[in-house]
Amino acid sequence: MGHSLVWLLQWPVRAAILLFITRLPIGVEMVNFPIALVSALVISLAGTLLVWPLRLILSPLRMVTTLGGLIPVGFLFEWLISILLFGFTAWLIQGFRLRNGLFSAALGALAYSVLCFIALRSLGLEVPLLRGS
């Protein structure tokens, strides 16, 4: 199956997950499903375009805090990238709001990543757990 077709299959699933996350008590607010579709699109596009620049910017900090990879906390930096992408999308999209700021972005990004991973894997699609991975 072509890569673009796989993405088209993921898009409404990711949007539905964004709407589901708004039901959790973490402060993520979404106006409606069309806003969720646009938000899922922006998260995916931002992840595609910004993940490598963010990794490059964060790599010196990552190398210092992990002692060059000796301490296995690299997943925290992948989660940080997911938080930045989630927050950037909420900042960009009218109708997508993080009521509790960084707290909502952190929990929203984590919930979004985990739920997308579970849902898409159950559909037989290979996806990374965190966007920065």
For the chain, give the mean pLDDT: 85
pLDDT in tens, 80-121: 888 989 999 999 999 999 999 999 999 999 999 999 989 988
Examine residue 129 and state whether it is found in any structural domain, yes or no: no
Rounded CA-CA distance 40/14 in Å is: 6
- Predicted confidence at residue 74, as pLDDT, reads 65
Residue 75, pLDDT above cutoff 80: no
Examine residue 41 and state whether it is found in any structural domain, yes or no: yes
Examine residue 32 and state whether it is found in any structural domain, yes or no: yes
Question: Domain count of the chain?
Answer: 1
Range of the domain at 115: 3-122
DSSP state letters, 53-85:
HHHHHHHHHHHHHTTTTTSS-HHHHHHHHHHHH
Examine residue 132 and state whether it is found in any structural domain, yes or no: no
Q: How large a percentage of the chain has pLDDT more than 70?
A: 83
Examine residue 55 and state whether it is found in any structural domain, yes or no: yes
Examine residue 62 and state whether it is found in any structural domain, yes or no: yes
Residue 130, pLDDT above cutoff 70: no
Question: Contact 22/15 with Cβ under 8 angstroms?
Answer: no
Q: For residue 61, what pLDDT band results from cuts at 50, 70 and 90? A: confident
pTM of the model: 0.81
